[in-house]
Amino acid sequence: MSYEEAKKRYEALNVNVEAAMETLKTVPVSLHCWQGDDVRGFDTDPSKPLTGGIQTTGNYLGRARTPEELMADIDKVLSLIPGKPKMNLHASYAIFEKGEWADRDKLEPRHFKKWVEFCKERGLGCDFNPTFFSHPKCDPLTLSSPNEETRKFWIEHGRACIRISNYLAEELNDICTMNIWTGDGFKDVPADRMGPRMRYRESIDEILSEPYDFAKVKPCVESKVFGIGVEAYTVGSAEFSLAYAAMNREKCIPLMDNGHYHPTEVVSDKIPALLSFFPEIALHVTRPIRWDSDHVVLFDDETKEIAKEIVRCGGLEGRVHIALDYFDASINRVSAWVTGYRNLQKALLSALLTPAADLKKLQDESRFTELMVRQEELKTLPFGDIWDEYCRRCGKPADGEWFAQIMEYEKKVLVNRK
C-alpha cells in the first residue's frame, strides 16, 4: 500500500498523520554510548569484568576499543536512525590526553571536551551518568559503603559528575539528565538493611548539594530489584528510590528502567502513576528476559504500551525524559543499537497514530465492547507505510534499506578490530 492510501485509513479514524510525524521529529531520545563496547568505557582495564550486577554476554566481533572507534560506530548508527537523538554518556567514557589519567573522583569537564565537540558537530544534546561500578573502589558497595573513605570517594565522583553535567548542559544548550544508579547490594541475606539505605540517602544528599540549575541539569535516581551477585538485597530498591525522589522533588526526578521490576509488573502502568505526582520522570527503555538481561528493544507489546502512556500522559511535552539502556555483545553491536532505536521510534510513532481521544471517550462512556474492537482493529492498520514515509522525511533509510550498510561496515571496519 502507498503512503497516501495508508494515510487515508488513519484519517478515517480521526488521526492526523502529518502532525504525528512532525511531532516525533522533535522528541529527544537518548542514545546510550555503552552498547558499542559492552559497557567497558575508557578509564579502567578493559580486561577486568563488569561489576555492579550487570552483565553483557556474547563475543561478537568488532567491539569498539577506543574513543575514535566508538565515535565512528555512533556515526554509523546516527546515519541509520530517524528522529531526534541525543547522546547518553557514562563517566567511564572520559577521554584523556596521552599519558594522562584521572580517577573518578577527580574527573573534570575537560575530560569530556571531545564528546562536546562530537555532539556540537552533530547538533546533539547529551545526558550523563556517574559510573558507580566496574572500579577497584567498589568494596563492593559505593555510596552506601560503611567505609567512610570509600563512600567519600564515590560522593566526590557524584559531585564531579554534577559539574560535568553543568558543563554539558551549558555547552550544548540542552537539558542534561544525570542518572544516579548503583549496583550496591548483597548476594545473601543481610544483617542490616537500613544502615546502607541511610548512608545511600545521605550520599545522594551530599552529591546534590553541588550547585546546579534544576531547569537544565536533572539528576535522576534509578531503582532496581536485584542484580547478578546481588540477589538478596538492593540498597536502591523501588521504594527507596521513589521515596527519595518524592521527598526531594525540587532537586531530582525518579527514573524507571523497565528491566528493574518483578516480571509481572509493567512500567507502562507506572508512568501515569508517577506522573500523577511528579512534574517530570525519566525512563530507561530496555528489554528484560526473565531478569534484567538488557536485550535489544523490540517493537513488542510492552514497548508499545510504554510509548502509548508517554504520548497520552503528555510525556512528549518535556515531562518524560526518554533513554535507551541495553547492551548485547552476541550480535553486531551497531545493528543492535540501530534496531533498538528504530523500534522505540516505531513504538512512539504508533502511539502518536492512535486516536487517543476517541478511545478515551469510549472508556469514559463504559462502551468496553467497542473499545476492545477498536483497539484490536488498530493493530492491523498499514503502519509500515507511514513508518517508511517518516524515515524518508527524516532523510533516513526505510525498513529493508539499511541492513546491507551494517554488513558493509562490518566487512570494512569491524572485522579489523582483533
Residues β-bridged to residue 129: 90
Q: How many residues bind ligand RNT (CB under 6 A)?
A: 11
- The residues pairing with 391 across neighbouring beta strands, listed in sequence order, are none
Task: Map residues 281-310 to x or -, x wherever contact with ligand RNT holds by CB under 6 A.
Answer: ---x-------x------------------
Stretch binding Zn ion (CB under 5 A), from 148-156, 207-215, 225-233, 278-286: 278-286
Q: Are 30 and 86 in contact (CB under 8 A)?
A: yes
C-alpha dihedral, 402 to 405 to 407 to 409, nearest 10°: -140
Report d(CA 143, CA 152) in Å as an integer: 8
* 171 lines the binding site for Zn ion (CB under 5 A): no
Residue 181 as a binder of ligand RNT (CB under 6 A): the answer is: yes
State the residue for C-alpha cell 545526558: 127
Nearer to ligand RNT among residue 140 and residue 355 (C-beta)? 140
Q: How far is it, in rounded angstroms, from Cα 177 to Cα 168? A: 10
Nearer CB in complex with ligand RNT: 34/341: 34
* Binding partner at 224 among ligand RNT, Zn ion, none, C-beta below 5 to 8 Å by kind: ligand RNT
312 binds Zn ion (CB under 5 A): no
Judged by CB under 5 A, the chain residues 325 through 344 that form the site for Zn ion are 325
Q: In the complex with ligand RNT, which residue's Cβ is closer, 132 or 153? A: 132
Rg (CA), the chain: 21
Report the C-alpha gap between 94 and 75 in whole angstroms.
18
Distances (CA, A) of 210 to 163, 199, 312, 383: 8, 18, 35, 47
Instruction: List the catalytic residue out of 294, 309, 328, 385.
Output: 294
Q: Based on the residue annotation, tell me whether 294 is a catalytic residue of this protein.
A: yes
Least distance from C-beta 286 to Zn ion, angstroms?
6
HSE-up of residue 375 (Cα within 13 Å, Cβ side): 17
3-state SS assignment for residue 86: strand
**Number of shown-chain residues binding Zn ion (CB under 5 A):** 3
Q: Is 333 in the site for ligand RNT (CB under 6 A)?
A: no
Query: Rounded CA gap, 209 and 250, in Å?
Result: 12
Is 325 in the active site? yes
Identify the residue among 37, 184, 222, 309 touching ligand RNT (CB under 6 A): 222
Q: Three-state DSSP class for 222?
A: strand
Nearest residue (CB) to ligand RNT, 252 versus 386:
252
Q: So which residues are the catalytic ones?
A: 181, 222, 224, 257, 260, 284, 292, 294, 325
Binding site for ligand RNT (CB under 6 A): 34, 39, 54, 129, 181, 222, 224, 257, 284, 292, 325
